């Protein structure tokens, strides 16, 4: 009974430490004072833009929520809007902080005009004169009018979660992503021409993690505990970041197309503009979830693998033995990858079996996420397996050859554009029951293979070397 209590306490401690330590030790136990508003990660790029040759007077009449979307709710109707209604103020602050615009008041223009009337009336009544010193300066007129708004708010674009519970103790996690989209356009006040239109989007993350334990540790003694936290990314901050990104895009796009000039023309090659151009190029090959749809691996590759084999034959007490191999890979640059694999290892049991075998197989991988840095995959194929001659130092397939079918799962992590780390678990089903020298039972022999490998993709190097050789040949011919 004491062991059971200790076991339960250990599970509870593990849950508390690894699933909710962050919110558990940062609970707001006291009221907080007012503070300066938080800034978005994109603000640093916005305020770091190159200086303009001359600031542009810009007016914003209306930049509103055009979605009409209400906050999603699972409990009933919710009449709170999903998007903040103060987007005009957010845009005005963004264009002011960019350093490229002189924002002028237009949203509350009627209030401004009324106040100017009051000033003129007061001066006329109490100053007793109407000379030029008492006149108000004229209002600035805008060279640009910025229009647009928040045009889309998509809830539950992506949802999911996972959980595990054992003997009344477990933890689970859920997440949800929403998406907000902003359009912004610049209009010339001289002729009404729309100079440029840009649009940006931002994913909004919400996640929930909880853990609990529910165990009877003794008769009529129940242990129950739970903890967890929920994180909801503020929608106002997401809208703010999307608007700031739109202002940044508008400025850089205008610089590239020559709509406005830089103070220093050489700043067109600055890191901010280069990074934006690279991001825009990547965006052309991305899907709705910002996943790149461009091939991540080169066409050809070479893999080196090491792991273990576990032979399951007619003898009892099988042992795991070391294996190693090499693979030649051909990537279709989509969901499929073909491979030729040559490997060697031992089939062994505790007492009766200790033989070295070679395996040659052809496989096809189907990757579930081929355009990500990591992707799980399923694998299938066929091949042959043959006992290695002890007197031979090379791979020997001269002995009896047995056909085999292969299936399994794995995952590959791309370390960079050339190297990938591969983990897999495979089953080799041999179409013969006498591989171990014993033919008993209803089932054929088979063996499990677990391995880790390093894949090297090299077709770009091959192309580059080929180009270098062609250049040398041309030079010699000249």
pLDDT (average), residues 438-462: 83
Contact by Cβ (8 Å): 242, 233: no
What size, in residues, is the chain?
A: 478
> Would you call 182 helix, strand, or coil by DSSP?
strand
Helix, coil or strand: residue 216: strand
Domain ranges of the chain: 39-119+140-152+182-196+235-292, 300-458
**pLDDT the model gives residue 120:** 85
Q: Is the pLDDT of residue 247 over 70?
A: yes
Q: Which of 87, 88, 93 is nearest to 238 (CA)?
A: 87
pLDDT value for 392: 55
| Mean of per-residue pLDDT scores for the chain | 83
| Cα–Cα distance for residue pair 203/225, rounded to 1 Å | 34
Q: In whole angstroms, give the CA distance from residue 406 to residue 385.
A: 11
Spatial CA neighbour of 64 closest among 42, 91, 40, 44: 91
Which has the closest alpha carbon to 72: 162, 147, 176, 218?
A: 176
Q: Which fold has domain 39-119+140-152+182-196+235-292?
A: Rossmann fold (3.40.50)
Count CB atoms within 10 A of the CB of residue 284.
Answer: 9
Residue 256 CA, chain-centre distance (Å), reads 29
Residues of the chain with pLDDT > 70, as a percent, come to 83
Over residues 191-203, the mean pLDDT reads: 92
The answer to whether the CB of 134 falls within 8 A of the CB of 123 is yes
Select the more confidently predicted residue: 189 or 440.
189
Alpha carbon distance 254, 260 (integer Å): 6
Picking from 161, 179, 189, 151, the residue whose alpha carbon sits closest to that of residue 57 is 189
**CATH (residue range 300-458):** 2.40.160.20
pTM equals: 0.67
Give every CB contact of residue 436 below 8 A, 6+ residues apart in sequence. Answer: 311, 313, 314, 315, 347, 353, 355, 445
Evaluate whether 239 touches 247 at the Cβ level (below 8 Å).
no
pLDDT over threshold 90, residue 452: yes
- How many Cβ atoms sit within 10 Å of the Cβ of residue 446? 18
Give CA–CA dist 36/410, Å, rounded: 48
């Amino acid at each position: 009974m004491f062991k059971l209590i200790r076991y339960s306490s250990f599970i509870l401690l593990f849950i508390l430490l690894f699933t909710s330590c962050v919110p558990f030790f940062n609970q707001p136990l006291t009221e907080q004072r007012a503070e300066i508003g938080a800034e978005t990660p994109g603000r640093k790029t916005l305020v770091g833009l190159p200086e303009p040759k001359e600031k542009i007077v810009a007016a914003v009449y209306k930049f509103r929520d055009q979605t009409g979307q209400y906050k999603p709710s699972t409990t009933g109707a919710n009449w709170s809007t999903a998007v903040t209604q103060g987007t005009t103020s957010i845009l005005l602050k963004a264009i002011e902080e960019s350093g490229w615009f002189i924002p002028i008041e237009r949203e509350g223009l009627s209030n401004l005009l009324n106040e100017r009337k009051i000033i003129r009336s007061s001066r006329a009544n109490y100053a007793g004169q109407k000379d030029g010193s008492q006149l108000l300066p004229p209002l600035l007129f805008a060279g640009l009018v910025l229009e647009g708004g928040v045009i889309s708010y998509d809830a539950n674009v992506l949802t999911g979660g996972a959980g595990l519970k054992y003997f009344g103790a477990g933890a689970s996690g859920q997440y949800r992503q929403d998406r907000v989209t902003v359009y912004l356009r610049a209009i010339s006040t001289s002729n009404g021409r729309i100079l440029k239109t840009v649009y940006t989007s931002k994913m909004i993350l919400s996640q929930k993690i909880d853990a609990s334990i529910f165990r009877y540790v003794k008769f009529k003694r129940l242990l129950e505990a739970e903890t967890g936290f929920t994180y909801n990314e503020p929608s106002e901050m997401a809208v703010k970041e999307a608007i700031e990104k739109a202002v940044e895009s508008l400025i850089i796009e205008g610089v590239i197309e020559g709509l406005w000039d830089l103070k220093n023309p050489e700043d067109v090659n600055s890191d901010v503009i280069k990074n934006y151009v690279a991001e825009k190029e990547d965006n052309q090959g991305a899907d709705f979830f910002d996943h790149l749809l461009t091939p991540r691996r080169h066409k050809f590759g070479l893999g080196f693998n090491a792991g273990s084999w576990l032979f399951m034959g007619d003898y009892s007490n099988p042992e795991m033995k070391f294996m190693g191999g090499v693979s030649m890979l051909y990537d279709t640059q989509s969901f499929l990858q073909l491979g030729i694999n040559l490997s060697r290892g031992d089939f062994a049991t505790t007492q009766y079996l200790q033989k070295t075998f070679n395996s040659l197989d052809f496989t096809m991988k189907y990757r579930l996420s081929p355009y990500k840095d990591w992707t799980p995959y399923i694998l299938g194929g066929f091949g042959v397996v043959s006992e290695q001659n002890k007197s031979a130092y090379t791979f020997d397939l001269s002995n009896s050859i047995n056909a085999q079918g292969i299936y399994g799962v794995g995952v590959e992590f791309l370390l960079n554009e050339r190297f990938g780390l591969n983990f897999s678990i495979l089953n080799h089903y041999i179409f013969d029951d006498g591989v171990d020298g014993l033919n008993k039972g209803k089932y054929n022999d088979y063996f499990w293979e677990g391995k880790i490998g390093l894949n090297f993709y090299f077709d770009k190097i091959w192309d580059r070397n080929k180009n270098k050789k062609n250049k040398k040949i041309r030079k010699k011919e000249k």
